Amino acid sequence: SPFRSGVPSFSQISDPAAPNQPFVIGVTGGTASGKTTVCDMIIQQLHDHRIVLVNQDSFYRGLTSEELERVQEYNFDHPDAFDTEQLLHCIDTLKSGQPYQIPIYDFKTHQRKSDAFRQVNACDVIILEGILVFHDSRVRDLMNMKIFVDTDADVRLARRIRRDTVERGRDVDSVLEQYANFVKPAFDDFVLPSKKYADVIIPRGGDNHVAVDLIVQHIHTKLGQHDLCKIYPNLFVIQSTFQI
């Protein structure tokens, strides 16, 4: 190849994302592992780019009246609890540069708001966060970078009890029962096995500033390469023409 003799090789800029599409980062981990904190830290440090945070929680299906009557038997940690087709449509729409109206989910009523949406617009970076965002291969395949937030189960349970009683209108007994019956088994069956797809595993979640700094550095590099490709789309052609 003519690029081998001291001239910078552009092969490093090859990336699964097309140059004019947003860079998609998937962030997963068990319940209350600190996913939201990690996303917020990344967003803060990437303030000079247009970033959209998409929460998988927004795509929870609303419960029917029969399901609501027996809500303590409903498994919110199973992949079927989410409308994954709609989530795929959302990411596809954003990747094509169109705006999207994301549903607003209420954890107290287990329903989506019928009359309100969160409008998100075209962006450079999409962060997709949720307990099961690595489960479906179609969702996974949309991601350019996959992060697993790894936090001890006792820390997560303690946080979950505090959060669900304070913010989600639950009592301690129901939180513990749901955890034992659904949350922990689903973590073992679906969340933990998806760790193998991660590019980066962050121990201790949002407390790990070093890991977040390294991730942000990498994203900056990748976004710089995306910008290069936008300016010089023919770099790819040059590379494939001359590489023998």
Contact residues toward ligand CTP (CB under 6 A) are 29, 31-36, 57, 60, 76-77, 107, 110, 131, 183
> Which residue's CB atom is positioned nearest to ligand CTP?
36
Task: Tell me how far, at minimum, the Cβ of 5 lies from ligand CTP, in Å.
Answer: 49
Task: Tell me how far, at minimum, the Cβ of 6 lies from ligand CTP, in Å.
Answer: 47
Q: Which is nearer to ligand CTP, 77 or 150 (CB)?
A: 77
Q: Which is nearer to ligand CTP, 153 or 228 (CB)?
A: 153
- By C-alpha distance, which of 78, 74, 65, 19 is closest to 235? 19
Residues 6+ apart with CB under 8 A from 99: 93, 119, 120, 121, 122
Task: Tell me how far, at minimum, the Cβ of 206 lies from ligand CTP, in Å.
Answer: 8
Give bridge partners of residue 27 from the DSSP assignment. Answer: 129, 147
Task: Tell me how far, at minimum, the Cβ of 165 lies from ligand CTP, in Å.
Answer: 12
- By C-alpha distance, which of 223, 157, 215 is closest to 26? 215
In Å, what is the CA distance from 226 to each residue of 10, 35, 149, 218, 241? 12, 25, 26, 12, 20
Q: Which is nearer to ligand CTP, 55 or 225 (CB)?
A: 55
